[in-house]
Structure 1
Amino acid sequence: MNPFEVYDDESFWTRYWFSKETALYLINLVDEELRRTTDRNDPIPIQVVTALRFYAVGSFQKMHGDEAQLSQSSVCRVIKDVSEAFARRRKQFMKFPTSREEVEATQQQFYQYCRLPGFLGAIDRTHVYIRSPGGDQALY
């Protein structure tokens, strides 16, 4: 099953929490790295959307495998491989503010967006309160 053909844009979004356009971008981002020399591997788009679906809803790997026609062990390998490929590119996309000006600008943007004062970031659209232990900020 090809989810890009089966699902319209809205249905794709509700299943993967990404637009088709973003999913294709992510596929192209890791395509070369995930490619293997044998014919016994799953297509890269199926690997990436299987991992995206797991990130979006969690659940049991067997259920994601049923949808993608993969065994549970293949789903486990796919999630690991795709996750590691994304993680290797983290510096390309993730940056924590380092200067006082960046901290203040980020806090202002969060306040404008969601009216939460003093926030610096969100993980999976979840606000996580991290309290500074004080002292030398360079240590943390």
Structure 2
Amino acid sequence: MDAVFVYYQRRRLRRPRIMRDRSNPLDFMNDVDLHCKFRFVRADILSIIALIHDVINYENQRGLALSSSLQVLIALRFYATGGFQDVIGELVGVTQVTVSRTLRRVTNALYQQVGSFIRMPTQVMANIQKTKFFAVAGIPNIFACVDGTQ
């Protein structure tokens, strides 16, 4: 009976709330550092934030919701590095679970906008691009590439 009492007493004890430093990298990083860490320049990051702000902005019951800018930066860092989520979270002071939820939220918001930015070419345009790629690199049947770096 005493063990049960001790168990419930321990459960009732509240853990102290941990307040992490959630500094926004947009506030203290220069443009070169932003591009190195997130692979986008400041103006492009701000336009992405403006594009999906209404979709990813949320409030939670504890008043500790991440700003839309931090959410976008977390996602961009993951996309740029493919790193571990807990390491990415350390950059802005959040947990791995928060990074995971943020990635899902931002990725879904960006996916909703994909039709505005990515279009497949018509057959005529694809043939023109194939000819141009072949002239440059000698590789047949290529009509597009991503980023151009290997």
TM-score range, shorter chain: 0.7 to 0.9
Q: Tell me, yes or no, if structure 1 residue 103 matches structure 2 residue 121.
A: no
Match of 2:97 among 58, 69, 73: 73
Q: Tell me, yes or no, if structure 1 residue 47 matches structure 2 residue 71.
A: yes
**What is the RMSD of the two structures over their aligned residues, measured on CA atoms?**
2.1
Structure exhibiting the larger radius of gyration computed from Cα positions: 2
Percent of residue pairs identical = 24
Q: Tell me, yes or no, if structure 1 residue 85 matches structure 2 residue 109.
A: yes
Give, as a single letter, the amino acid of the residue that structure 1 aligns with 2:41: S
CA deviation profile, 1:15-68 (whole Å, cap 9, x unmatched): 000111001000000000111244331000000011000000011100011111
Give, as a single letter, the amino acid of the residue that structure 1 aligns with 2:88: H
Q: How many residues align?
A: 125
TM-score by length of 2: 0.74
Contact 1:107 / 1:120 at 8 angstroms: preserved in 2?
yes
Q: In the aligned structure 1, how far is the partner of 2:142 from the partner of 2:26?
A: 36
CA deviation profile, 1:74-111 (whole Å, cap 9, x unmatched): 000001110010011111000111232x1134335656
Match of 2:45 among 18, 23, 30: 23
Which residue of structure 1 lines up, in the alignment, with residue 4 of structure 2? none
Which residue of structure 1 lines up, in the alignment, with residue 55 of structure 2? 33
Structure 1 runs, 4 residues or longer, greater than 6 Å off: none
Contact 1:106 / 1:120 at 8 angstroms: preserved in 2?
yes
Q: In the aligned structure 2, how far is the partner of 1:111 from the partner of 1:14?
A: 32
Give the 3 Å change call, closer, same or farther, for CA 27–10 of structure 1 in structure 2: same
TM-score by length of 1: 0.78
Q: Which runs of 5+ in 2 are unaligned?
A: 1-22
Q: Tell me, yes or no, if structure 1 residue 123 matches structure 2 residue 150.
A: no
Give the match's secondary structure for 2:40: coil
What pairs with 1:57-68 in structure 2 (closer than 5 Å)?
57-68=81-92
Report the more deviating stretch, 118-127 or 12-21: 118-127
